[in-house]
Structure 1
Amino acid sequence: MDNNYKQKIVQSVPQKGFFGHPKGLFTLFFTEFWERFSYYGMKALLLYYMYYSVSEGGLGLDKSTALAIMSIYGSLVYMSGIIGGWIADRLLGTSRTVFYGGVLIMLGHIVLALPSGTTALFVSMVLIVIGTGLLKPNVSSIVGDVYSEEDARRDSGFSIFYMGINAGALIAPLIVGTIGQEYNFHLGFGIAAIGMFIGLAVFVATKKKNLGLAGTYVANPLAPEEKKKVFTRIGLAVALIAGLGTAGIVTGTLTIDRFVTLVSILGIVIPAMYFIVMYRSEKTTDVERSRLLAYIPLFIAAMMFWAIQEQGSNILALYADERVQLQFAGIELKSSWFQTLNPLFIVTLAPVFAWLWMKLGKRQPSTAKKFSLGLFFAGLSFLVMIFPAYLNGTDSLASPLWLVLSFFLVVLGELCLSPVGLAATTKLAPSAFSAQTMSLWFLTNASAQAINAKIVGYYTEETEIVYFGIIGGAAILLGILLFLLSPKIQKMMKGVN
């Protein structure tokens, strides 16, 4: 897209009207706020809904199966962003892709709100996975469209937008979680559906006035002669996957365990293929190849980090429900409330970290050293979870403060690694593949959760100390190794800091 058209888009957006920012930021902030409200509200209840007995309103699934499904779900949500990016770039443009994504997410929550058993669970998961893949990467992309590239407000605009994400994630477990656990799971999922409906209503009602041309263009449209060939291939691929899936379910060869294994393998194979294709491409220069090799240890470190961070919504959610004293300081706690801790600490501490890196300036740690700090805090967040069982055994309930400490430590790690990782991804990627770099960074999380799906089954009260000890210890050892290798990685980055 040429610069003239970029300027035309910016001029079509009212440039004042939301805390000194373009009016379009209001639309995108509240669309994403409500989408995250619906997603994290549903996520706060989903594990409990799967393993609670039927008499308690749940599906009565085996705990280890429920934990594996949670991880696979998370992994597929992040993988589907690749599809969402392609559809926006080649077919629909970001604005229409966001709208259709929101509709699918809302339908997914509506299906969960109906008491229709395990079939409804899987139908809703498919809808939400595809819907989130269409909406999530593209909303962020439209935020970039409403500012000109020289606009000094741009970074601050993204910060406000990310506050919207975390604010939605913060209040969702308190509202959806409380209603779901106090009254009825399906009522909770219904509230999540209403949240997504409000987000869609805001988007549709304010889009024309606030967003102008932003998100309406198709960046790299398919030529008419390409369309037929591409649609035929997509149709055949969908038919083949659906056919194999149906045959597997009917004959009993596609079990949940085998599906988990399949996604776990994909979690390793897809990023490996990405790296091989980019490294071997004729469009990649020697300097870019060196940077790509420097990115591989960072990618592995990020996978290890997310493997721990993402267990906050399954292993630690299970721990909160079964191992924590839920009477605290005269308050009756709900196990779903612990899911608010991560966004609460991010909202509180993100400005502190932004100030710290600014203050340190050129003295701040290198990218690889920040990653090693991220791993250190993540490992520590699991190692502290050894103490309740070590000090008092697994028969007595642990203080909720142990969980609070664990979530606090992992957020310290997240703020060292996550924003830095996103920036490093854009800087280290070969220029011929710049549009796909965001997908590559999201794959660190997809791969982590795909691997988690195989690991979480080993967690029981009997293996608690060993489980937290081995994973926490492995993260710290990997962090130390990365710290020692950081000068060499920095050298291979060829001038990128």
Structure 2
Amino acid sequence: MGATAKKGRYPIGYWICCITFTFERFAFYGTKPLLALFLATSVAEGGIGLSEVDAAPIAAALTSFTYITPIVGGWICDRFLGARYAVTLGCILMGIGYLLGWQSHSVGMVWAMIIVVAIGTAFFKGNLAAIIGRLFDDEKLLDTAFSIQYSFVNIGAFFGSMICAALYMSTFKKGDVLGYRQVFFLCAILIFIGGAIFTACYGLLQGQGKLPFKYLTDTQGNVIGQESHEKKEKTTAPLTSLQKKNVIAILLVTLFSVVFWLAYYQQDIFLTFYIRDNVMRTVGGFELSPAHLTTTWNGLLCIFMSLAAAKLWEKLSNRPKGDLSMFQKVTLSFVFLGLSYGALALMDIVRGAGKAHFLWICLFGVLITCGEICFSPLGNSFVSKFAPKKYLSLLMGIWTMASFIASTINGEIMKLVEKMGDFNIMLSFMIISFVCAIVMFFLIKPLNGLTSEGEE
């Protein structure tokens, strides 16, 4: 690994990876909030013309597929393909996928977009995060590095959601026809630009991602200290007892991740339709997009809160007690998650038969973003620290599998909304979140025991 990382600074290649994430997230968060509305908008207004219940599982598939496919991409890069080349390939495929969305006038073409974008994400997401993990020898820097990287992710999410929301409702709108498809075209162009920048900067990655992750490489990408056949024998060796404990801890936290992301992804479909029908969205004569209200606010909050969290984790890590454990942070994340849904339930009561003020959604956004900051960026750091190196990309992919499961279930939530009503859905997520916080609190000590021996 690079000397820059060892000295405690951030290598240039790290910033290139962060910028690449920004372009990809711009495209994803420009598209994802729109997809449910695009599918449920009439053909005359530029949509596909499905019902909300029929649109929900298709819209959810974009998220779910882009989280399950990195497991396959991780397996490939652990064994056969250098991660840097996979990231470039992923950008090309994702760009092609968004171009298919630009030309979509049927459900079949929307599915084609989703599938191609998902395949591209398979090569992109976990592998770019894994490259970042390999750029640092100092594990104390990892939490901070991934929190800063998460700010770049949310710069893309913020500007992608804000700009695309304005474009499809105004600039790209022609008469009554909303500009969904033009947004997809813009996202394709930006993905291609991000991939081109990353590819042009291969030389700044300190040799990482040049070979499959089963090899430890120097700053030129050469295998360190062993011939490849010796390294192959090592990668086929069974896991040690300590490595097995670390894997168990990763898998247990992944189970809690399913619940967290299921609650979080309600912003994509259920809350999008709820905001459209039950929240006042006009500010100064300008109508806010129901699809992007939560996404844009969340992205803006994450930009600053991720940086603040990075400073906080760094400060805590210098204490005699050290930083809070990943498991303590997960507990906090569920507390904030429960509070956010408590705010939504209260909003639904207060509004009565009228429409709620959009500031309620802003309060919800602050609370759920606090939970996200405690949970999401630290998961990548946690896996990078404790995953056996030969399975790094694979376990990164399994970590993201929780999002696939959550998003798949999310596609069916609209059916429950029809049966239970909005308020009961909000109340249920509040209760489930607080229960998870209590359970995780009592699991902190045993989970710390599984990983403490592995800390260096």
Cα shift at 1:70: 2.5
| 1:61 corresponds to which of 24, 27, 50 | 50
Residues 1:298 and 1:159: Cα distance change in structure 2 (over 3 Å): closer
2:87 pairs with one of 90, 95, 98:
98
Shift of residue 58 of structure 1? 0.8
CA positional deviation for 1:186: 1.0
1:24 to 2, 5, 13: 13
1:191 matched residue in structure 2:
186
8 Å Cα contact 1:45/1:180 also seen in 2: no
* Match for residue 323 of structure 1 among 278, 289, 299: 278
Give TM-score, length-normalised by structure 2.
0.82
Counterpart amino acid of residue 332 in structure 2 = L
Partner of 1:207: 201
The TM-score, its normalising length taken from structure 1, stands at 0.76
Secondary structure at the aligned position of 1:401 is classed as helix
Distance 1:321 1:61 in 2: 16
Aligned partner letter, 2:210: T
1:451 correspondence with 2:451: no
Distance 1:135 1:434, change over 3 A: closer
2:445 paired with 1:490: no
Partner of 1:481: 439
Q: Distance in 1 between matches of 2:391 and 2:208?
A: 23
**Amino acid aligned to 1:58:** G
The answer to whether the 8 Å contact 1:180/1:189 transfers is no
> What is the aligned partner in structure 2 of residue 314 from structure 1?
269
Aligned to 2:165: 177
Alignment match, 1:348: 304
Equivalent residue runs for 1:82-121 within 5 Å: 82-121=71-110
Match of 2:111 in 1: 122
Shift of 1:455: 3.0
- 2:155 is matched with which residue: 156, 167, 188? 167
Over the matched positions of the two proteins, sequence identity in percent amounts to 27
Mapped to 2, the partners of 1:328 and 1:372 lie a distance apart of 36
- Note the C-alpha offset of 1:321: 2.0
Distance 1:402 1:81, change over 3 A: same
2:359 is the alignment partner of 1:386: no
Relative distance call for 1:25 and 1:297 in structure 2 (3 A) is: closer
The answer on whether the counterparts of 2:21 and 2:153 sit within 8 Å (CA) in structure 1 is yes
The number of residues matched between the two structures is 421
Distance 2:382 2:127 in 1: 20
Please tell me whether the aligned partners of residues 152 and 303 of structure 2 are also in contact (alpha carbons under 8 angstroms). no
Structure 2 SS opposite 1:397: coil
SS at match of 1:133: helix
Task: Quote the offset at 1:475 in angstroms.
Answer: 1.3
User: Are the counterparts in 1 of residues 331 and 441 from structure 2 also a CA contact under 8 Å?
Assistant: yes
CA shift at 1:368, angstroms? 2.7
Q: 1:404 aligns with which of 359, 362, 365?
A: 362
Letter in 1 for 2:132: V
Q: Secondary structure at the match of 1:149?
A: coil
Asked whether the equivalents of residues 37 and 168 of structure 1 are also in contact (C-alpha less than 8 Å), the reply is yes
Structure-2 residue corresponding to 1:376: 335
List gaps (5 residues or longer) in structure 2.
174-178, 216-235
The AA in structure 2 aligned to 1:308 is A
SS in 2 for 1:413: helix
Deviation at 1:114, TM superposition (A): 1.4
For 1:208 and 1:495, locate their aligned partners in 2 and report how far apart those are by CA, in whole Å: 35
Give a deviation string over 1:286-345, Cα, whole Å, max 9, x none. Answer: 455555555554332221111111222222222222221111355432223311122211
Distance (Å, rounded) in 1 between the aligned partners of 2:37 and 2:80: 39
Structure 1 residue 24 displacement after superposition: 3.3
Residue 24 of structure 2 corresponds to 35
Q: Structure 1 pair 175/87, CA: closer, same or farther in 2 (3 Å)?
A: same
In 1, distance between residues paired with 2:243 and 2:196? 44
Say if 1:115 and 1:150 are closer, same or farther in 2 by CA, change over 3 A.
closer
SS, match of residue 336 in structure 1: coil
Deviation at 1:439, TM superposition (A): 1.8
> One-letter code of the match for 2:260?
F
Give 1:139's match in structure 2, choosing from 120, 128, 132: 128
8 A Cα contact 2:270 2:413, kept in partner: no
Change (3 A) 1:383 1:67: farther
Contact 1:34 1:199 in 2 (8 A): yes
